[in-house]
Structure 1
Amino acid sequence: MTNSVAVVTGGASGVGLATAKLLARDHHVVLSDTSGERLNRALHDLDSLGVSAESIVADVTDRRSVEVLMVAARAAGPIASVVHAGGGTPRHASPEAIVRARVLGTINVTAATLAVAGLGTTLIHATAHAAPPLPFGTVPRWVFRLAPADPEAVVAALTRLTRLGPARLAPAAAHAVSGTFVDWYTARMTEVFDACGARLRSTSVESIVELCRDGLRPAA
């Protein structure tokens, strides 16, 4: 066991917990989620494997909450990996809730990771499962450029876009537009991470577990 730390948002269940179990083979794992009850169950699951882990309740849509998470994780040791799988929402979440979780989560986790990143720190954003084509065409990318100064404006603009098509397709549209944002923002911030000796990428939820099995080595 090394003293390096892996942080997993959305780590209380699903892909996040599966990822944490893999990373715990050679990291101290810090699990994060919005539910302390779910985190307790997940931590019990990890403890049964005899690995080193702890949990911290955090809301990825709240920038201060994510900053506290990352500072606490950094106190446990150098952060080697951050897997942001915390952009998920309940099955019947509104389009606005979907967009908000994924857009603000991406921005907040990126900024908080950059603040504590060291040489070789890798941040992986999990994008959504493959979504159907948007019912209203492509997303105007100029909306994304509001992100650094006014992330709430991005949420509002993308939420309005989801209402342009049929209501029954709005949740799928919310996943699609927010996934497009995640890819755009990751590409935009990759150069910043590179300059700090860290690494950043986004990948599909389906690929996260395989990527962790491969040691979180981003493709060249």
Structure 2
Amino acid sequence: MRDICVITGGGSGMGLAAARLMGQNYYIIICGRNVMKLESAVEALRQQGIEAEAFPCDVSDYKSVEKLASYAKAKGRVAAVIHAAGMSPHMGEAKTIVEVNALGTIYMNNAFYKVMEEGSCIIDVASMSAYLTPKIVMPVRNYKYSIDNPSYFIKKIMKRVNIFPKKVQKGVAYGISKHFVIWFAKQDAARFGRKGVRVISISPGNFETPMGELEKEEADTYTKYSALKRFGHVEEIAGLFAFCSSNEAGYLTGVDILCDGGLVASGINPLLRKK
């Protein structure tokens, strides 16, 4: 049985970079909604000698995610899952952002819980925005509904988002959804742990990706406050994904790892544009 690594959002950016690195030791299945992008990425991976294939999947649709999990299981041992698919405030409306980022994480964890075995690892990708959005915004007490009633959970989250002015709702939805990803990965560690499977979240800062390019003008206004004063390179986050999913990190679970070049550590609140 060959080891399988499933990567959502694997058609570009940090997901594709992870596929290049993980492909040295795993059979790669990259997933996303843009079939043409996926096929192009698979071709590039194969040219580098990496065994890979594409599987179209909408992470906000549970049936689609279940099909992905079943397909991956049929291919071999699902040893690693990197759930990097997500939407930024520049990519959709507030409700869609919450559905893709929050529901997508619930669905991925629930579907892959059924097919992952002892010694494997699932990584849910969050964002440094979870640390930068004011805590008072976060409807943490409503997160519990995600476990048994995801549709009700979304209603509660959107009720909070809709309190805010229309012009900031996308940003609020993004911050809440990524904060939830961190919470969900932590609470899910016990469930997966009973099977000997690890769950962690990783919160990237600003990286040189297509998504990062959409946010570059805004991000540039505060990247100067970070310790490294630059955007991250996708190879750097891919290396973190690879280590965290490896046996060398076999005791690492139930935590979030912030990889932001030292921006949050600076104390800057980019949302308020002040030191």
Do the structures match in fold with TM over 0.5? yes
- Aligned match of 1:214 in 231, 240, 243? 243
TM-score by length of 2: 0.74
C-alpha distance in structure 2 between counterparts of 1:94 and 1:138, whole Å? 18
Please tell me whether residue 120 in structure 1 is matched to residue 119 in structure 2: yes
* Aligned 8 A contact 1:78 1:118 in 2: yes
| Superposed CA offset, 1:119-170 (max 9, x none) | 1110000002435424x82423221111122212222221222232333322
| Alpha-carbon RMSD | 2.0
Q: How does 1:90-129 map to 2 (within 5 A)?
A: 91-129=90-128
Q: Hey, what does 2:133 align to over in structure 1?
A: 133
Q: Hey, what does 2:152 align to over in structure 1?
A: 153
* Aligned 8 A contact 1:10 1:88 in 2: no
Percent identity for Structure 1 against Structure 2 = 27
* Aligned 8 A contact 1:89 1:101 in 2: no
The range that moved more, 173-182 or 123-132, is 123-132
C-alpha distance in structure 2 between counterparts of 1:80 and 1:122, whole Å? 6
Where structure 2 has 5 or more consecutive residues not aligned to the other structure, the ranges are 206-235, 254-275
* Aligned 8 A contact 1:89 1:97 in 2: no
C-alpha distance in structure 1 between counterparts of 2:50 and 2:176, whole Å? 38
**1:44 is aligned with what amino acid?**
E
Distance 1:142 1:215, change over 3 A: closer
C-alpha distance in structure 2 between counterparts of 1:55 and 1:92, whole Å? 22
Secondary structure class of the residue paired with 1:80:
strand
**2:245 is aligned with what amino acid?**
L
Where structure 1 has 5 or more consecutive residues not aligned to the other structure, the ranges are none
Q: Hey, what does 1:33 align to over in structure 2?
A: 32
Q: Hey, what does 1:57 align to over in structure 2?
A: 56
Q: Hey, what does 1:86 align to over in structure 2?
A: 85
C-alpha distance in structure 1 between counterparts of 2:80 and 2:103, whole Å? 20
C-alpha distance in structure 2 between counterparts of 1:213 and 1:148, whole Å? 28
Instruction: Please say which structure displays the higher CA radius of gyration.
Output: 2
C-alpha distance in structure 2 between counterparts of 1:190 and 1:133, whole Å? 24
C-alpha distance in structure 1 between counterparts of 2:155 and 2:127, whole Å? 20
